[in-house]
């Protein structure tokens, strides 16, 4: 019998979100619950460099009758810049991926201690210990945890301000870090049967030459999609990355990048629809 296909452009897909297994604030099951309440019909949990929330996310999604694909957001260093590559519809038990991610996140604690030293040099004491109070997964301390601590301690009024004043390049709490290579990240995701997707491309501030070089390398490495609709993309950027997808033969993805209800408040499932000109990366995943 021929399978009946849903219209992929009409489904509310949110394929980018975080739990407290990385730098989100909610447990995986709570994120599932919230996604479902917000009308998400196809959901992925994509914690940074981390797979440990996926089993809980999947079983809660199943309980709620919501479609789910396993995901991850891999930190990559390309041309001295940090780039995020989503792996979607992955097998979380794949050994290449599991080992690659262990390696990717292994430097985080030393980096955090150095960040803390940098902050101490401008009079902010014990930031490492402070940030740790916001960490739920000891393998995954991130800049976001420092940001929450600096807001809590009254240094700044919100996390964006913390990033701007303390945690970005050239600022006292910034520590350059080498993450996975683009080729390795895509290779691990492919080995795990997943699609590699460029997360929030507008955030990298590429000029035309860099953009061309990056997307060429990404496609050459086996990457297959780009996140076109996401919380920090405006309408022009959505149009722009739709064209980029067409130029490089990539599919498109959609995701809120939800972390919490505060930072800034981007709700699950509430970003715009993917334009008709792009093929959704999830087209093949939703047959009934």
What residues make contact with ligand AMP under the rule CB under 6 A?
23, 48, 75, 142-144, 159-160, 163, 259
What is the Cα–Cα distance from 90 to 190, expressed in whole angstroms?
A: 8
Q: For ligand AMP, which is the closer residue by CB, 36 or 48?
A: 48
CB under 8 A, 24+ apart: contacts of 173-176: 173/115, 173/116, 173/118, 173/119, 173/124, 173/127, 173/143, 173/146, 174/115, 174/118, 175/111, 175/114, 175/115, 175/118
Quickly tell me which residue has 């920090």 as its tokens.
232
Structure-token pair, residue 174: 């910034």
Structure-token pair, residue 111: 């980096």
| Three-state DSSP class for residue 233 | coil
Q: For Mn ion, which is the closer residue by CB, 130 or 201?
A: 201
Residue nearest ligand AMP (C-beta atom):
142
C-alpha distance from residue 101 to each of 48, 188, 244, 263 (Å): 9, 9, 28, 26
Q: For ligand AMP, which is the closer residue by CB, 198 or 278?
A: 198
Of 101-109, 128-136, 155-163, 253-261, the segment contacting Mn ion by CB under 5 A is 253-261
Q: For ligand AMP, which is the closer residue by CB, 166 or 241?
A: 166
Q: For Mn ion, which is the closer residue by CB, 125 or 270?
A: 270
Q: Which does 159 bind (CB under 5 to 8 A by kind): ligand AMP, Mn ion, none?
A: ligand AMP
Nearest of 205, 254, 207 to residue 14 by alpha carbon: 254
Q: For Mn ion, which is the closer residue by CB, 57 or 199?
A: 199
The least CB distance from residue 18 to Mn ion, in Å, is 6
| Three-state DSSP class for residue 7 | coil
Contacting Mn ion within 74-133 (CB under 5 A): 84
Read off φ and ψ for residue 253, nearest 5 degrees: -130, 170
Residue nearest Mn ion (C-beta atom):
84
Q: For ligand AMP, which is the closer residue by CB, 143 or 254?
A: 143
Q: CA angle at residue 243 from 241 to 249, to 5 degrees?
A: 100
What is the Cα–Cα distance from 118 to 75, expressed in whole angstroms?
A: 22
The least CB distance from residue 119 to ligand AMP, in Å, is 14
| Total residues binding Mn ion (CB under 5 A) | 5
Of 114-122, 171-179, 186-194, 257-265, the segment contacting Mn ion by CB under 5 A is 257-265
- Sheet of 13-14: strand order equals 13-14, 42-45, 67-78, 81-88, 195-198, 225-230, 251-255
Of 5-13, 21-29, 33-41, 185-193, the segment contacting Mn ion by CB under 5 A is 21-29
Instruction: Identify the residue among 257, 269, 271, 282 touching Mn ion (CB under 5 A).
Output: 257
Lay out the site mask for Mn ion across 177-216 (x = CB under 5 A, - = otherwise).
----------------------x-----------------
Using CB under 5 A as the binding rule, whether residue 23 contacts Mn ion is answered as yes
Binding interface with Mn ion (CB under 5 A): 23, 73, 84, 199, 257
């Amino acid at each position: 019998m021929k399978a009946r296909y849903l219209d992929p452009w009409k489904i509310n897909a949110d394929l980018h979100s975080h739990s407290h297994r990385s730098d989100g604030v909610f447990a995986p099951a709570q994120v599932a619950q919230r996604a479902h309440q917000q009308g998400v019909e196809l959901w992925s949990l994509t914690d940074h460099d981390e797979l440990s929330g996926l089993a809980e996310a999947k079983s809660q999604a199943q309980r709620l009758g919501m479609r789910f694909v396993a995901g991850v957001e891999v930190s990559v260093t390309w041309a001295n810049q940090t780039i995020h590559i989503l792996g979607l519809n992955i097998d979380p038990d794949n050994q290449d991926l599991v080992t690659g991610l262990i390696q990717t996140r292994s430097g985080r604690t030393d980096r955090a201690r150095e960040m803390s030293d940098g902050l101490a040099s401008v009079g902010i004491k014990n930031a490492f210990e402070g940030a740790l109070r916001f960490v739920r997964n000891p393998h995954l301390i991130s800049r976001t945890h420092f940001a929450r601590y600096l807001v809590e301690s009254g240094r700044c009024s919100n996390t964006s301000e913390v990033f701007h004043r303390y945690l970005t390049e050239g600022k006292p709490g910034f520590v350059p870090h080498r993450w996975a290579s683009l080729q390795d990240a895509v290779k691990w995701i492919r080995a795990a049967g997943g699609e590699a997707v460029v997360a929030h491309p507008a955030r990298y501030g590429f000029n035309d030459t860099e953009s061309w070089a990056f997307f060429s390398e990404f496609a050459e490495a086996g990457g297959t999609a780009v996140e076109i609709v996401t919380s920090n993309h405006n309408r022009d950027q959505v149009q722009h990355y739709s064209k980029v997808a067409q130029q490089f033969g990539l599919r498109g993805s959609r995701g809120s990048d939800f972390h919490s209800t505060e930072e800034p408040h981007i709700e699950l499932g509430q970003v715009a629809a993917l334009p008709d000109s792009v093929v959704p990366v999830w087209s093949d995943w939703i047959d009934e």
